[in-house]
Structure 1
Amino acid sequence: MNEKLITTVIEFFKELFISNGMNNNLASILGVLLNCIIFIFAVTLLDIITRKFIVQGFKVFSNRSKNTYDDYLVKSNFPRYIAHYVPLTLSWYFIPFLFEDFPLIESALLKVVDIYLVVLSVLVIRSILRTTKNYLDKDQDYADKPLQSYLQVLMIFAWGIAIFFIANILTGFSAKSLTTLGAASAIILLIFKDTILGFVASIQVTVNDIVRIGDWITFSKYGADGHVTEINLATVRVQNFDNTFTTIPTYSLTADSFQNWRGMQESKGRRIKRSIYIKQNSVRFLSSEDIERLKNIQLIKPYIEHREKDVAKYNRQVEADKSLLINGKNQTNLGVFRKYADAFLHENPAINKDLFLMVRHLAPTDKGIPVEVFCFSYDKNWENYEHIQADIFDHLLAAVSYFDLEIFETPSGKDFKELVSLKD
């Protein structure tokens, strides 16, 4: 554009006022004011037209395009931000002509334009980053990755660079000096301590695959027990099973101990580990009559018959005096019950027999003898898993009485009352 022509147009009002006898300074001020009003109106109108043209054009293009990336660009206001560059460039070009007689105002306005240019550039970068994140969120390969953390880190860098540029625009400050950089770094470290910790933790979490979005974690320190719904630069959001949300600092995932159930979810079964407490004085040797009665239980009939032959053979070899059951080898009601529980689990179609399966006695306690069931269910869904576990122990608790065993139960107040009434 011809600079001489621009100067002539801008000087039109000033010359007009002077030709009508107005003071030169006052004519300059009024001329600038009128030119500013006209320029602001023109720039605003240009901004509206450009914005509508670019936004609508971009929408038409995205609707015709098969790629969804441009759709996310429209949603993140990328075309709107780009449209602002046209009037901004025009302002940057015309301000020196408008305020040629007022260098201080010209300098201040150019700094404002430069600052707005820096901020607008950051907004464009943010729009692109958000678009990329939203686009990758739909990809299964990135669904469990903490993309939000990466977005926040990049935005921190972008705003950090923008702040340095703005400081340079306002004060002429230069970050070339090592001393200046050291002081600035110390301030940044102090202000963004948690952010930096979160950034480092996010990298460790991703590289070491500690936590993914969708993982079920238990973090007792923070009262979290549920699925990870979001991983940010500073926090990890967990939706608990009561539908409440717990926020955990990201760096805590690397600094503290927590439980991640992903291994169970990816394995071939979910562990069942629970005990039944048997009253100790109900454990006894089995008589021949007891053995014949227990042979009616189909699951353990082959075991009892096989075990009976082994016991009889051993007792004959050692010439055991069987007038007392304690002599020689004998079967016990607890041992047979343990074998029954083992056979019951092997017959249960909900239990994975390819994984570890065991029924064992633990050390006697003041609450009885623990008979522990250790196995894995095929179904890992929490609700179904609890149903499977409940069905197993419902059956075993009901089966205990068939072996003349008793479940230990701490006496209640009612039991003591009944005891006192019997004595009376």
Structure 2
Amino acid sequence: MEPQVIDAEFTTSANFITKYTEQFLKTVGVPEDYISVVNLLIVLALAALVVYLLQKVVNWGVTFIFKRLHKITKLNIFKYAIKNRLPHYLALVVPYTFVINAIPTIFVDYKQLIGPCIKIADIYIVFMIIWTIMALVHSLANMLEEKTAFRHKPMKSYLQVIQIVFYIFGAVAIYSILTGHSATGFFAAMGAASAVVLLMFQDTIKGFVASIQISSNNTVQVGDWITMNKYGADGDVEEINLSSVKVRNFDKTITTIPTYALISDSFQNWRGMQESGGRRIKRSITIKQSDIRHLSDEELDEFEKFTPLAEFIKKKRAKYDALNKKLHIDSGSILKGFGITNCDLFMTYITWYLKHNPDIRNDMTLLVRQMPPAADGLPIEIYTFTNTTVWGDYEAIMAEIFNHLITAVRPFNLTILETVSSTDSLTVNLKQ
């Protein structure tokens, strides 16, 4: 784009400098054939110095103004503008007017270079304007991230979309500068190559669609703990952008997942657990099945002395005695009919223990149940929730519960099954 009007005073001053340097070179004895080239290099150096100083002054001035405005208004937009180098990019835009007016004068003896140099300057300003706008957009995004409503939104995805849009506009502008044609020709060429463009940007397009769905459905947020076995991810989401989601695993490794995989594949999001304030315990202890038996009246009398079991034993004894009497079952027979087993009491005790444990949530599911018998014993499963989601505290609570239950089986004459090691076998043989 040729400058329509060149400032007369600027041109006069520039011509004066050019003629002065040319006269100076003649005075110092530079050969006539080299005067033009040397003069061009000197004027270019002077112009570069002016541009450098102008850029530094504007950068310092804008930075100073932004700092003052931040101090006065307390608006973080000015702090983020400095962080994202907005003053720097503004300072790179300002010298454009000087450069575009200086080119015809600098290359007065090389007129064939004026057109290409102006085009280079125009392309330069296109990039500078895009970078300036993006610095402003990043600053606004940083400010929005401070708001609760935007804190967990995939802001980087939105920024990348905006960046792509501006780069497209920049490409159109550069096409027009280089060819002299309007933007219509550019879009016509892009239409013909649309299949290639779609192939090149398929991941970006899918990522963009996925980002919108993730955001609108609130599927994943930055900071969520997710598990995705297909990609080996088990940790906190650190970043969501157009093409990928970055997860920092608990072993401090980084897993990168394609954004669109979060809507096409299944994964586990632990946010609900964290927001509920309770984390589930679902673990079993395996009881030796041959140890399970009916308890005698004498044994029940002893257990009834333990207050937590007393009410359960009274109710069950009354119920079973009535049933046995109704069905004419003798309690002394081989098959005792209805009766209380040591496993019944053990499970009742576990329930009481969990309900009275201050580390367990009583407002959530609390269940003690038998799982299907297996070759290695009868699993008794504990299904409950702790009152914390902190990993270390959760593990400590779970360990404390099972340590207690492992020791609590002995009064019930039950045995917890475990794999016999060679050391155990040797100990048994030595005792024999």
Q: What TM-score do the two structures reach when normalised by structure 1?
A: 0.89
2:281 and 2:383 in contact (8 A); partners too: yes
1:269 and 1:352 in contact (8 A); partners too: yes
Q: Deviations over 1:130-158 (max 9, x none)?
A: 21122223223222111122112211222
Which among 11, 15, 21 is matched to residue 10 of structure 1?
A: 15
1:269 and 1:379 in contact (8 A); partners too: yes
Moved more, 175-184 or 160-169: 175-184
Distance 1:16 1:304, change over 3 A: closer
| Aligned-partner Cα distance in 2 for 1:197–1:137 | 24
Given the alignment of the two structures, is residue 166 of structure 1 paired with residue 171 of structure 2, yes or no? no
| Aligned-partner Cα distance in 1 for 2:310–2:14 | 112
Structure 2 counterparts to residues 2-401 of structure 1, below 5 A = 3=8, 6=11, 10=15, 13=19, 35-99=43-107, 102-172=110-180, 175-177=183-185, 179-401=188-410
State the 1:420 CA deviation.
6.4
For 1:232, give the aligned amino acid. Answer: N
Q: Deviations over 1:209-258 (max 9, x none)?
A: 11111111112122221211222222222222223322222222112211
| Aligned-partner Cα distance in 1 for 2:189–2:429 | 87
Find the residue that maps to 2:81 and give its secondary structure: helix
For 1:161, give the aligned amino acid. Answer: F
Match of 2:414 in 1: 405
State the 1:281 CA deviation.
0.7
1:272 and 1:376 in contact (8 A); partners too: yes
1:95 and 1:109 in contact (8 A); partners too: yes
Distance 1:118 1:325, change over 3 A: same
| Aligned-partner Cα distance in 1 for 2:424–2:149 | 61
Q: What TM-score do the two structures reach when normalised by structure 2?
A: 0.87
Distance 1:238 1:5, change over 3 A: closer
State the 1:283 CA deviation.
0.9
Q: Deviations over 1:189-226 (max 9, x none)?
A: 23333222222221111111111111111121222212
2:386 and 2:397 in contact (8 A); partners too: yes
| Aligned-partner Cα distance in 1 for 2:10–2:76 | 47
The runs of 5 or more residues in structure 2 that have no matched partner are: 1-5
Q: Deviations over 1:47-93 (max 9, x none)?
A: 33333333333333333332121121122221222122332112212
| Aligned-partner Cα distance in 2 for 1:45–1:418 | 88
Moved more, 73-82 or 159-168: 159-168
| Aligned-partner Cα distance in 1 for 2:239–2:152 | 9
The Cα RMSD (Å) is: 3.0
2:93 and 2:129 in contact (8 A); partners too: no
Distance 1:302 1:93, change over 3 A: same
Moved more, 102-111 or 182-191: 182-191
Find the residue that maps to 2:163 and give its secondary structure: helix
| Aligned-partner Cα distance in 2 for 1:233–1:342 | 49
Distance 1:24 1:129, change over 3 A: same
1:10 and 1:35 in contact (8 A); partners too: no
| Count of residue pairs the alignment pairs up | 421
1:63 and 1:71 in contact (8 A); partners too: no
